[in-house]
Amino acid sequence: MSEQSPHEEQTEIEAPASFEDVYAVSTELVRAVETALAEEDGSAVRDLLEPLRPADIADLFVVLGRDDRHRLAMVLGDDLDLDTLIDLEGSVLADLLAVMSPHAVARAIPELDTDEAVHLLVEMDEARREQILARVPAPDRAAVLEGLSFPEDSAGRLMQRDLIAVPAYWSVGQVIDYCRETVELPDEFYEIFVIDPRHRPIGQVALNRLMRTRRPVLMREIMDEESTTIPVDMDQEEVAFLFQQYRLASAPVIDAAGRLVGVITFDDAATVLEEEAEEDLMRLSGISSETDILDTAMRTTRSRATWLLLNLGTAILASLVIALFDATIEQIVALAILMPIVASMGGNAGTQTLTVAVRALATRELTAANALRIVGKEFVVGALNGVLFAILVGTVAALWFSLPTLGVVIAVAMVINMVVAGLAGTLIPLGLARAGIDPAVAATVFLTTITDVVGFFVFLGLAALFLL
């Protein structure tokens, strides 16, 4: 038998059957882990988890029920990988931290970046947090306490304190030797920050440029002076925008005196972008961003009930408008059949515009400078769509009820409501943003109220004028 070349052997390896086989936590794995946990077979659980990466184990914790989640945490004990905890958030992270010993959490704190340590500690109540911090070495404890002292969604909470800062008169060779000889370097870094004698950042040098430069060259000669600095109290959403806008790998964080106090990296900014997108999506649906799919039924119910109560109030307002024309509806039953069409089309058109406007405000594509042009465009779009669907619905209504005037009434009402919906979908988020209110929080309620009230009032009012 002839020998196969390494290339031929490699081509005979079967490709994975699916994405789950390589990257995802499969249903079969989850069932196997649940069975091993039920049988209290810790060694079997560890064998099942052995080939998984920390991020995969984090996904497994999310998929498991709360009781199994606790059992798995007890099985892993102090061997629970720190990277697994960092990949978790919300109720799942809180559940795991609750069953971990204070000693295990305290031992993990010095091994984490400051922002990661803060991420863990904010999920605990104050008493447990103090109990853990009391066991943390003084330097690490001071750094974490400083991180916790900053506002919740600020750059100070997001930054990590471990960084490399050197004076401008150092040579490339000195910097390389310093990095080789210093024990306490950041686990990951992408740029070297150049500072003045007052410890203020005056530039930065990317690692690839540093490594391509000859040793005698001074840092001031190769540093990028167009550095984007971030105030420590800047909102994290603003931080994420800067990273996205200028394609930053990392950025220095400065205090009120302009001194370098930390660094934010692109992975932290990407996490913020993901969180903000998720938050806006949930708020547009009238759901609190503080809850998630894994919360208890009672907590989820309380969170959603407030918004449902507010929506009930707006629905009652729309009903009161209908009640003004009860005599008209009694005489022409067709109005009751057709009026939901007007309100629904206006609501859907407004939601389309609102979604685009909220996103554009978040990405700074919609500002005061171009607001008038965007509002004008949405007016035209609303009018064109209104005319298009007015012709369609008006024709159907006229033929359906053999009443041409009714077709004209619903057509005019639809044009008006869709124009109003387009304007409201843009003007409401602009107005809320100018008032300092997050448009994603309240815009949907206002939009629904306007499109329902205007739609019902215009349609029934025109009917009362021309059909009776």
pLDDT tens track for 389-431: 999 999 999 999 999 999 999 999 999 999 999 999 999 999 9
Cβ neighbours of residue 262 closer than 8 Å, sequence gap 6 or more? 114, 156, 159, 160, 161, 163, 232, 252, 253
pLDDT band, very low/low/confident/very high, at 5 (cuts 50, 70, 90)? very low
pLDDT number for residue 311: 76
Residue 208: C-alpha distances to residues 192, 205, 225 (Å): 11, 8, 17
How many Å apart are CA 241 and CA 273, to the nearest integer?
A: 8
Provide the token pair at 107.
Answer: 């031992």
Q: Check pLDDT > 60 for residue 91.
A: yes
pLDDT number for residue 445: 81
Partner residues linked to 201 by β-bridges: 195
- At 344, phi and psi to the nearest 5? -65, -45
pLDDT tens track for 111-170: 888 888 888 888 788 888 888 888 888 888 888 888 888 988 899 998 988 899 999 999
Cβ neighbours of residue 61 closer than 8 Å, sequence gap 6 or more? 69, 72, 73, 84, 88, 92, 96
For the ranges 12-21, 93-102, 425-434, the lowest mean pLDDT is seen at 12-21
pLDDT band, very low/low/confident/very high, at 388 (cuts 50, 70, 90)? very high
Residue range 85-96: mean pLDDT, rounded = 80
Residue range 277-295: mean pLDDT, rounded = 61
Beta strands 201-206 and 250-254 are unpaired
How many Å apart are CA 361 and CA 284, to the nearest integer?
A: 14
Spelled out in words, what is the top-level CATH class assigned to the domain 16-153? mainly alpha
Number of residues written out for the chain: 468
Is residue 251 helix, strand or coil? strand
pLDDT band, very low/low/confident/very high, at 104 (cuts 50, 70, 90)? confident
pLDDT band, very low/low/confident/very high, at 281 (cuts 50, 70, 90)? low
pLDDT band, very low/low/confident/very high, at 237 (cuts 50, 70, 90)? confident
pLDDT tens track for 176-221: 999 998 877 887 889 999 999 999 999 999 999 999 999 999 999 9
Is 297-466 CATH 1.10.357.20? yes
pLDDT number for residue 463: 92
Amino acid identity, position 233: D
pLDDT number for residue 165: 95
How many Å apart are CA 89 and CA 272, to the nearest integer?
A: 13
Spelled out in words, what is the top-level CATH class assigned to the domain 165-284? alpha beta
Is residue 345 helix, strand or coil? helix
Higher confidence at residue 355 or residue 308?
A: 355
- Read off the pTM: 0.65
pLDDT tens track for 17-26: 555 555 567 8
Taking the domains of the chain in order of start, what are their residue ranges? Answer: 16-153, 165-284, 297-466
pLDDT number for residue 7: 47
How many Å apart are CA 342 and CA 393, to the nearest integer?
A: 9
Residue range 48-62: mean pLDDT, rounded = 88
Cβ neighbours of residue 438 closer than 8 Å, sequence gap 6 or more? 283, 432
Is residue 279 helix, strand or coil? helix
Partner residues linked to 167 by β-bridges: 195
pLDDT number for residue 359: 80
pLDDT band, very low/low/confident/very high, at 9 (cuts 50, 70, 90)? very low
Q: Fold identical between 165-284 and 297-466?
A: no
